[in-house]
Structure 1
Amino acid sequence: MLASAKVAFAQSMPELVQASIEALRQHPQPPYGRPAQASGRTAQLIREEHGDDFGAVYGPAHAQTLITGRGPTRGGGNAGGEPLRAILAQWAQDKGIQLTGGMTYQQFGFLAARKIHRAGTALHRLGQPSRLFSDILTPDRLNTLKARIAAGQMVAIATELRHALSQ
């Protein structure tokens, strides 16, 4: 593959990871207009891989939920993962939510999970996906990647031509 592509992917993929993390910190999420990041755990799970002819950014399995929300539960359990009630209890704790009336974080997690299992999240009920990550991979960013590859190839071609003409 083109050497310039490898360099361009090596440069661009970390930039995409940083843009994704920044989106979690700043992008207003519907329906309340607050950023998605509570504890930073999702951001810690975003990573990139690149090679000679590819670049990829990976996130946690629940990243799709940040875009479309979570619908009501239909049959079955949680597919072997951590129970939603435990995830929500930890989320509330990480976010520093002050519970009233002597409610514990475990009780909060149970009640919030029950509500989500019955009705889905507000983002799902809204029916309009968040643009959390879609604003990151823009035509401008893709054009920049292509321009980096092309610029590297132009340098390589010019070097080869100079070398060939000097002989």
Structure 2
Amino acid sequence: MGKQNAGIKIACENRKARHDYFIHETYEAGIALQGTEVKSLRAGKANLKDSYAVIEGGEVFVENMHVSPYEQGNIFNHDPLRRRKLLLHKAEIGRLFGKTRERGFTLVPLKIYFKRGRAKVELALASGKHNYDKRQALHEKAAKRDVERALKDRQRY
């Protein structure tokens, strides 16, 4: 483990996003959570599938992020699909707002992790892939795997 990954615990990841989108830039954002949401996240009970971020009134919100209710939460539990505010600097929000408006980029959460005890979201500035782009990526991945396998077999003998 390098110094960069020290103290980081990944709660959930959106692997499908890397398949469906070209990732241009990533940003680290804090996330405003309610009481039992933190415990659910620590237990890994979250899902980023089909989630996205929107900018409204100078603030960034993540939509469709599912955080399961905490089992021991009784009446203090939260709505699993509620809108959650992301914490970014005003300059970053302005930059993201400009890019999403002019170039057709979208904001996609890639993963949720804990860094020094605080929940963070890795937010990506992404543009959608077409089906032929996805197929091309799969072909490249398969070719790379075949080359690695051939090199491994060659080293064995």
TM range (shorter): under 0.3
When Rg is computed on C-alpha atoms for both structures, the one with the higher figure is 1
Which structure dedicates a bigger proportion of its chain to helix?
1
Give TM-score scaled by structure 1 length.
0.27
TM-score by length of structure 2 reads 0.28
